[in-house]
């Protein structure tokens, strides 16, 4: 046990949590892919050992995404009695995981989704880049991979399939994300303080940040605080001694709107993180833990609060925003729902079109934010997308790849249609 504790301490220096947007973090996973000194390009031993790896864990997406990724990896390995290898990530410090670091480069197994595009489809240079880095052809996988017999691959994706896929593994899923005792003790103390303020704890998570600055993405849905207040007013008198708990990445701006409900935040709950955790920037986890113990939960269209809902074993009612602005909110079962609601529902849009951005931003955030989206956020988002694609194109094929990416951007979709020839 002491050895495992030492491992967590060693890894903690490299698992510092970030608040970068999901789009910005795409660069992190590309840049780190070839720099991990633990990876051997051509393993010389244990090649027959059952193993699954996830070299992108901790880099491809923030905390909520990482929980889904790790759960998919661990469930897949458990079903095969296979060993897991992955890089250092925040879960080693929070949950005490001590999986072996990656010792081999395996062929990429890249997620796909029926009737919808993934990041790997939208960025055509992504797959050839991964294949060139691994020096191996890739395969595409969906949720059936959980119970297949495939081994010896490196999993790439977000794996945010409809949550009923994970329902048979509910107990195991939850067991993966229980905080270590050193962290759980002070968090339980804060939870007791929160629960002492009333008999029904109502938790609301409000996501802002990159959901505002990335208006093109088909999942960025930002509701005005007044809509949350209207929902609260509709249920408040029906609850027994309710107390409101608010968490948000823009707390100072959203909190005043809820003044009439006397909201409580982690700042009011004397959360005292152990000194060994203070360098990790994990204040966000206090919100996550408390949200997973509320009696009524209203989430944002966010994996962060959806994952907290999946871990919540006592909640009586779960509510989330919808793209139907007449209806605004709807009840959901966190173990039988889509983790993220994309615009378009059954025909999800990876990117909103221009009209979508204008109408949705104006309706939910007002004229000023709509104008700022037009002249700042949308151009920056497009430029960042181009930079990522041109970077990958260059990494795959040098200046030829850069030209192919430019052609693709100009509308010549055939430019990256056949990319198998780059392997050498």
User: What is the tens place of the pLDDT at every residue in 241-300?
Assistant: 999 999 999 999 999 999 999 999 999 998 888 888 878 888 899 999 999 999 999 999
The rounded distance, in Å, linking the Cα atoms of 102 and 85 is 5
pLDDT at 108 over 90: yes
Sheet with 51-53: list strands edge to edge: 83-85, 51-53, 153-156, 108-111, 139-141
Cross-strand bridge partners of residue 248: 206
* Alpha-helical regions (H) of 81-223: 90-95, 119-122, 126-134, 170-175, 181-195, 210-213
HSE (CB half, 13 Å, CA atoms) of 247?
25
Residue 334, judged by CB atoms within 10 A of its CB (0-12, 13-18, 19+), counts as buried
* Contact in structure between 130 and 110 (CB atoms under 8 Å): yes
Confidence of residue 16 (pLDDT cuts 50, 70, 90): very low
Higher per-residue confidence, 153 vs 28: 153
| pTM of the entire predicted model | 0.90
pLDDT of residue 24: 58
DSSP letter at 84 equals E
Higher per-residue confidence, 333 vs 46: 333
Work out the number of other CB atoms within 10 angstroms of the CB of residue 117: 15
The rounded distance, in Å, linking the Cα atoms of 340 and 322 is 10
pLDDT of residue 2: 33
Domain with CATH 3.40.50.11350 in the chain: 179-365
pLDDT of residue 8: 36
The rounded distance, in Å, linking the Cα atoms of 84 and 153 is 11
pLDDT at 1 over 90: no
Task: Tokens for 35, please give them.
Answer: 């720099």
Q: Tell me the pairing of strands 329-331 and 317-321.
A: antiparallel
Q: Where is average pLDDT lowest: 6-10, 69-73, 369-373, 392-396?
A: 6-10
What torsion, rounded to 10 degrees, do the Cα atoms 338, 343, 346, 348 define?
-100
Work out the number of other CB atoms within 10 angstroms of the CB of residue 252: 7
pLDDT of residue 277: 87
What torsion, rounded to 10 degrees, do the Cα atoms 401, 35, 283, 225 define?
0
Mean pLDDT of 11-21: 45
Q: Tell me the pairing of strands 200-206 and 242-248.
A: parallel
The rounded distance, in Å, linking the Cα atoms of 90 and 97 is 9
Mean pLDDT of 65-90: 96
The CATH fold assigned to 179-365 is Rossmann fold (3.40.50)
Q: Where is average pLDDT lowest: 5-19, 159-173, 203-217, 361-375?
A: 5-19
């Amino acid at each position: 046990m002491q050895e495992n504790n030492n491992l967590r301490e060693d890894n903690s220096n490299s698992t510092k949590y970030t608040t970068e947007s999901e789009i910005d973090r795409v660069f992190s996973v590309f840049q780190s892919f070839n720099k991990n000194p633990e990876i051997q390009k051509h393993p010389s031993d244990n090649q027959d050992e059952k193993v699954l790896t996830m070299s992108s864990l901790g880099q491809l997406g923030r905390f909520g995404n990482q929980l889904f990724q790790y759960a998919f990896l661990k469930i897949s390995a458990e079903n095969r009695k296979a060993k897991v290898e992955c890089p250092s990530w925040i879960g080693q410090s929070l949950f005490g995981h001590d999986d072996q670091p990656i010792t081999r480069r395996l062929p990429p197994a890249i997620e796909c989704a029926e009737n919808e595009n993934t990041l790997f489809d939208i960025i055509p240079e992504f797959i050839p880049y991964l294949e060139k880095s691994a020096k191996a052809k890739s395969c595409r996988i969906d949720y059936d991979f959980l119970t297949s017999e495939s081994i010896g691959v490196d999993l790439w994706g977000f794996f945010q399939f409809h949550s009923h896929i994970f329902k048979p593994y509910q107990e195991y899923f939850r067991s993966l994300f229980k905080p270590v005792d050193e962290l759980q003790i002070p968090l339980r103390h804060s939870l007791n303080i929160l629960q002492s303020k009333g008999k029904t704890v109502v938790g609301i998570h409000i996501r802002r940040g990159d959901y505002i600055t990335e208006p093109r993405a088909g999942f960025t849905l930002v509701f005005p605080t007044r809509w949350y207040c209207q929902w609260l007013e509709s249920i408040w008198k029906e609850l027994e001694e309710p107390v409101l708990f608010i968490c948000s990445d823009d707390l100072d701006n959203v909190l005043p709107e809820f003044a009439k409900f006397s909201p409580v935040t982690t700042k009011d709950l004397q959360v005292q993180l152990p000194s060994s955790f203070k360098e990790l920037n994990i204040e966000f986890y206090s919100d996550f833990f408390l949200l997973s113990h509320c009696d009524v939960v209203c989430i944002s269209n966010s994996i962060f609060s959806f994952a907290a809902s999946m871990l919540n074993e006592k909640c009586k009612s779960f509510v989330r925003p919808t793209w139907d602005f007449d209806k605004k909110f709807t009840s959901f079962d966190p173990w039988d729902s889509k983790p993220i609601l994309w615009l378009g529902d059954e025909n999800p849009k990876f990117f909103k079109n221009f009209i979508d951005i204008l109408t949705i931003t104006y309706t939910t955030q007002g004229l000023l934010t709509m104008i700022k989206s037009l002249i700042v956020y949308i151009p920056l988002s497009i430029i960042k997308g181009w930079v990522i694609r041109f970077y990958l194109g260059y990494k795959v094929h040098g200046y030829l790849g850069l030209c192919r990416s430019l052609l693709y951007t100009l509308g010549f979709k055939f430019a990256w249609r056949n990319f198998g020839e780059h392997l050498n």
